[in-house]
Amino acid sequence: MLGKGLRHTRRYREIINALIKHGFGYFLSQIGLTDRGTVKKKGSTEENKNMRSMGKQLRLTLQELGPTAIKLGQIASTRYDTLPEEITAELEKLQDHAPIIDFANVQNTIESEFDDSLDHLFTFISSAPLATASIGQVHAAQLLTGEDVAVKVQRPGLKPQMETDLEIVAGIARLLEERMAWAQHYRLTDIVDELAMTLRNELDYLIEGRNAEHLAEQSGHHIYTKFPEIYWDFTTEKVLTMENISGIKVSEIEELDEKGYDRKLIAKRLSDAMLRQILDYGFFHADPHSGNIFVMPQNTIAFLDFGETARISEKLKRHFAAIIVNLYQGETDAMIKTFTKMDIIEEDTDTEALKRDLDQLHQRYENVKVRNLSLGQIITGIFSVVNHHHIKIPTEIVMISKAVLTLEGVLGRLDPAFSLMRAAEPYARKLLQKRYHPRELLRNSLAEIGENIDILTDMPRDLKDVMTAVKRGRIGLDINVKHVSQIMRRLDKITNRITFSILMLAFSIIMAGLIIGYAVLGKSTIIWDLPIIEIGAVVAMLMFILMVIMIIRSNRM
């Protein structure tokens, strides 16, 4: 415990000194982390007034503080929804700037993880790294069975250092939320928690290996998309052994041209692969920069490095698809409706002002040809607007937008005329049309009926609990009369739908009972010269169809 405290104190001092060195001393004194007397005025207030300069100084600070700070900065650079554009633009320039790990340390890590010598694991392993980053280093090797592999090895002692840094950053975030209104507004502790979770996942190579396999499985039937095979017998939390992909980095334009590759076709296949991952499968590579994409013979796209992936729910997929279609058609009213369905618009949000700002954003792009539109930049513009109106965008949508922005940069070099906006629109429409397939309508209708029945079943107990709490004086009522008529109309609709569902269910049960009863007795279903059972079945079917139509018209599927 004492060792941990000393480690925290030492690292805390290093962080404070780095921040003061790069012009954040005045800011630190304002929040009470340093004494005013220890802060030099030079380069503090003036520098912090300029957001771009602040971003640059923050980037230099993070580079000086090492791997954890660099990775946090790289991840934070994708938070276009919460950080100013000047800050994210500077953080995007962060590079790993990581020193090469001595091969003796690499060997020690591998042998410790597998409790065996390198000679018993590999025919050979290169001492010169293929790539070096802040978290790990990659070496070419060959298994005893002859497969060429790439071995990714984590930096020694990295995890304890990162945990220390994350705990300190979390503590500073809590302090800022207590003392600064802007930190409360941006929910700084939530952002730090999300960044920390992402970083911890990157520290576990078992997670990265599973991510690679999942992406490979869902894209298995697409022959022009390649993912490296994972060798699980030679993989642990700190060592990842995978197939060594040989190809040309997608950013090596001259080499691709020299070898006769079709860059337009490569751009098309790369965009299709990413759009399928996002809008078809809902699980995608969240960091498709040029260093993570190789081109193989027959214009095949190979993905590498699966530390950053993201999963998006079916509902959020539909919402993102709707946003793309709304963007494509310039329908700001529909976009606000989509935000409402996402439950991200607060009661105090000025929807008229939001619509006005979105209209202005659309006017900025409406005369630009589709092929010149940047889907990523437009989404970033939307983030800027909604952030101004205190609307919090779901993290999954932020991850998609980051992937889209990164992808557009790669596609722009391959084929300057390529439009990701135009490529994404058919995928989005297909996803929205799928929603109205009869099978989907039936599944959603049955689910809603089930939910209504559950609500009705629980209602007596819930009402009893509420009334008990009211009698004991535990509940205070605060009614906003401004919206009471809307609330009552909505409650009336809900009550009618529940009643209708119960009647339909009861009628169906009665009909089923009659059918079974007459079948057991062996009697005819003709009563008073009328085919009662058949008529009842038709009525039940019409009631069901009517309910489906009501649900669709209410736009609550």
Q: For the whole model, what pTM was predicted?
A: 0.69
Amino acid type, 471: K
Q: Exposed/middle/buried for 92, CB within 10 Å: 0-12, 13-18, 19+?
A: middle
| DSSP character string of 376-441 | HHHHHHHHHHHHHTTPPPPHHHHHHHHHHHHHHHHHHHH-TT--HHHHHHHHHHHHHHHTTSHHHH
Q: ∠ at Cα 121 (117, 122), nearest 5°?
A: 115
Report mean pLDDT in 10-residue bins for the chain, 557 residues. Answer: 58 76 66 53 45 75 77 69 69 71 95 94 94 89 96 91 84 81 72 81 93 93 92 96 94 93 96 93 90 93 92 85 75 82 78 84 69 73 78 80 87 90 84 65 56 62 69 58 54 64 64 60 55 65 66 52
pLDDT, position 238:
95
| CA distance readout (Å), 407 to 273, 276, 361, 446 | 11, 14, 22, 39
> What is the rounded CA–CA span in Å between residue 505 and residue 497?
12
Give the residue extent of every domain in the chain.
Answer: 2-98+159-201, 246-435, 438-553
Q: Is 107 helix (H, G, I), strand (E, B) or coil?
A: helix
Q: Is 135 helix (H, G, I), strand (E, B) or coil?
A: coil
Tokens of 421: 């906006």
Amino acid type, 84: P
| CA distance readout (Å), 78 to 21, 169, 186, 210, 350 | 26, 18, 15, 24, 27
Q: Please provide residue 489's backbone torsions phi and psi, each rounded to the nearest 5 degrees.
A: -65, -40
> What is the rounded CA–CA span in Å between residue 222 and residue 270?
12
| CA distance readout (Å), 194 to 79, 201, 287 | 11, 11, 16
Interhelix angle 263-275/395-414, rounded to 10 degrees, is: 170
| DSSP character string of 11-50 | HHHHHHHHHHHTT-HHHHHHTTSS-GGG---TTTHHHHH-
pLDDT, position 301:
96
Residues sharing a CB contact under 8 Å with residue 195, sequence separation 6 or more, in sequence order:
72, 75, 76
527 pairs with which residues across the strands?
530
pLDDT, position 357:
85
Q: Exposed/middle/buried for 128, CB within 10 Å: 0-12, 13-18, 19+?
A: exposed
294 pairs with which residues across the strands?
249, 302
In sequence order, which ranges of 22-134 are alpha helices (DSSP H)? Answer: 25-30, 45-49, 51-65, 67-76, 85-91, 103-114
pLDDT, position 202:
86
Q: Is 345 helix (H, G, I), strand (E, B) or coil?
A: coil
Residue 361 and residue 381 in contact, taking contact as beta carbons nearer than 8 Å: yes
> What is the rounded CA–CA span in Å between residue 289 and residue 92?
12
pLDDT, position 232:
97
Q: ∠ at Cα 389 (384, 394), nearest 5°?
A: 70
> What is the rounded CA–CA span in Å between residue 215 and residue 269?
16
